[in-house]
Amino acid sequence: MTTVNRPDQHTEPVVVTISGCAKEDAHAVFEFLRHSYDCDRGAADRPEYVSPDHPTVWTATFDAASARPPSGPVSLATPVEAEMQGGYWAVDRMTETLTTAFRVERQGTAAGDQEKDVQLRLLSRAA
C-alpha cells in the first residue's frame, strides 16, 4: 500500500467519493486514479457492495502532488457520480486528469477559503 502522508514530501490530498454506479465502474475510476496518483488504498482493495439493494458510497484519498502520466480512456457501463474535496490546485489537477480518460460533466461546486468540493458526472469518452 502506498501512503499519501509521508513526512518527507509535500502532499496535496484529494478525497474522492464515488456513488450511483456499479462496483465495476467505481473500480475502473479508482484504478485509473490509482495509476495516476498515490493512494491510501492498495491495488487489491476493490469496491464492494455492503448490500446490492442499498445505495453504496466508496471513498479513497489521492495525492495530487504525486502525479504520473494518465493511462488513457476508460470504458464505463453507466455514468459515475464522483465528488472531489481538497485544495483548489489539487482538485483542479485531478479534474484535468480525469478528462484524459472520461467525458467529465461538472454538476456543482462549493468553495471555501482553503479547499473546494466539486461534483462530477463521469461518462465513457466513446459515444
Q: Which three cell numbers stand for residue 119?
A: 461534483
- What average pLDDT does range 18-46 have in this prediction? 88
**Residue 20: band (very low, low, confident or very high) from pLDDT cuts 50, 70, 90:** confident
The pTM of the whole model exceeds 0.75: yes
pLDDT of residue 50: 62
* Portion of the chain with pLDDT greater than 70, in percent: 85
Q: Using one digit for the tens of pLDDT, what is the confidence trace for 67-116?
A: 898 888 899 999 999 999 999 999 999 999 999 999 999 999 998 888 99
DSSP label at 21? S
Instruction: Please answer whether residues 70 and 100 qualify as being in contact, where contact means their C-beta atoms are separated by less than 8 angstroms.
Output: yes
